[in-house]
Amino acid sequence: MKKNKIVVGSRDSKLAVMQTEIVMKEIMRYNPEIELELITLKTTGDLILDQSLDKIGGKGLFVKELDQALLDGRIDIAIHSLKDMPMEENEELPIVALPKRGDARDVLVLPQGCEFVENEDKALYYQNIGSSSARRKLQIKKLIPDACTSIVRGNVITRLAKLDRGEYSSLILAAAGLQRVGLPQRISHFISVEEMIPAAGQGILSIQARRDLDVEFLKYIKDDNTTYAALAERSFVRTLDGGCSSPIAAHATVEGEYIKLIGLYYNELTTEHRVAEAVDRKERAEIVGEQLALRLRGEIG
């Protein structure tokens, strides 16, 4: 179905709306004839803030309400952080376009007024790091064995407020989130993707649509290399089927004809983890993800 008015759905957090507006601007740039309307919805993930996401049902919580709005026809497309989308796609509601990836790195954020100084004793920053992500916890402990973490929930703005009130000594957040809410100055230190492998899809926005929508208008905002990277990262995680509380991490980069995927696998039973990488032709992105996952699982049982 081809339409000249598109209703765009978003979660109602500041980050979600800013991200949706980025995508809407791109759509308008290439399709000045299309009228766009934004609708925001509260999601279960935004309403339950006192429990760790892993415990209350994981990623799906941020997309369920928007899925329903798409199915009901209240919205035509939904904009999400790809990182928040379940690995199994709903056939009726496919991901139809991925714009060019933003910054995929995690960053350390210090309380307002504190400065991260290289080569200085940073024990103070690491004594109470706010992060509920098993992926971030495992990797920060690997980098800084003395680091202590505690649970933090809520959207990016809420987390920063808690940090500045002194509830944490630092936070680990996604660079892309801070940049997109207009707070890049809150980034105290970038952690490289090798030091802390990002979540699959981190820094990527995703456009989801009803299956019957004509999505021709999105063709100019799709990015091929981003799509290959997303395929590799998500097939890695899907193959490991870790459940949401597993500290699985995956990051792919495309250069020329080749894709490089680096993945972290954690075995819940043995509590061992391992990192490995694979390089292949970019068209084989999905297979690369699957093979790296099988290899890592085989190696550590």
Ligand X SMILES: NCc1[nH]cc(CCC(=O)O)c1CC(=O)O
Residue 206: exposed, middle, or buried by beta-carbon count in 10 A (0-12, 13-18, 19+)?
A: buried
Q: Is 83 in the site for ligand X (CB under 6 A)?
A: yes
- What x-and-dash track marks residues 189-208 binding ligand X by CB under 6 A? -------------xx-----
Q: Assign residue 243 a region (left: φ > 0; alpha: ψ between -120 and 50; beta: otherwise).
A: left
Residue 118: exposed, middle, or buried by beta-carbon count in 10 A (0-12, 13-18, 19+)?
A: exposed
Q: Hey, which residues between 140 and 169 contact ligand X (CB under 6 A)?
A: 156
* Contacts for 258 with CB less than 8 Å, ≥ 6 apart: 279, 280, 281, 282
Among 176, 240, 244, 262, binds ligand X (CB under 6 A): 176
In the complex, minimum distance from the CB of residue 77 to ligand X, in angstroms, rounded to a whole number = 17
**Cα 174 from Cα 27, distance rounded (Å):** 25
Q: Is 233 in the site for ligand X (CB under 6 A)?
A: no
Closest CA to 71 of 88, 91, 92: 92
Residue with tokens 């991925």: 98
Active-site option among 67, 76, 84, 103: 84
Residue nearest to ligand X (CB): 177
Is 67 among the residues known to form the active site? no
Torsion, CA 180, CA 247, CA 200, CA 102, rounded to 10:
30
In the complex, minimum distance from the CB of residue 64 to ligand X, in angstroms, rounded to a whole number = 15
Q: Is 237 in the site for ligand X (CB under 6 A)?
A: no
Piece of 70-78, 88-96, 173-181, 241-249 that binds ligand X (CB under 6 A): 173-181
Residue with tokens 């980069």: 253
In the complex, minimum distance from the CB of residue 202 to ligand X, in angstroms, rounded to a whole number = 4
Cβ closer to ligand X: 203 or 263?
A: 203
Cβ closer to ligand X: 106 or 280?
A: 106
Cβ closer to ligand X: 59 or 210?
A: 59
Residue with tokens 């916890």: 137
Among 77, 95, 110, 174, binds ligand X (CB under 6 A): 174
In the complex, minimum distance from the CB of residue 201 to ligand X, in angstroms, rounded to a whole number = 7
Number of residues that bind ligand X (CB under 6 A): 10
Q: Is 81 in the site for ligand X (CB under 6 A)?
A: yes
In the complex, minimum distance from the CB of residue 231 to ligand X, in angstroms, rounded to a whole number = 17
Is 263:185 a contact under the CB 8 Å cutoff? no
φ/ψ (deg, to 5) at 68? -65, -40
Cβ closer to ligand X: 41 or 296?
A: 41
Closest CA to 296 of 103, 84, 270: 270
Q: Is 84 in the site for ligand X (CB under 6 A)?
A: yes
Q: Is 76 in the site for ligand X (CB under 6 A)?
A: no
In the complex, minimum distance from the CB of residue 177 to ligand X, in angstroms, rounded to a whole number = 3
Residue 284: exposed, middle, or buried by beta-carbon count in 10 A (0-12, 13-18, 19+)?
A: middle
Cβ closer to ligand X: 176 or 252?
A: 176
The residues annotated with a catalytic role in the active site are 84
* Contact residues: ligand X, CB under 6 A: 81, 83-84, 156, 173-174, 176-177, 202-203
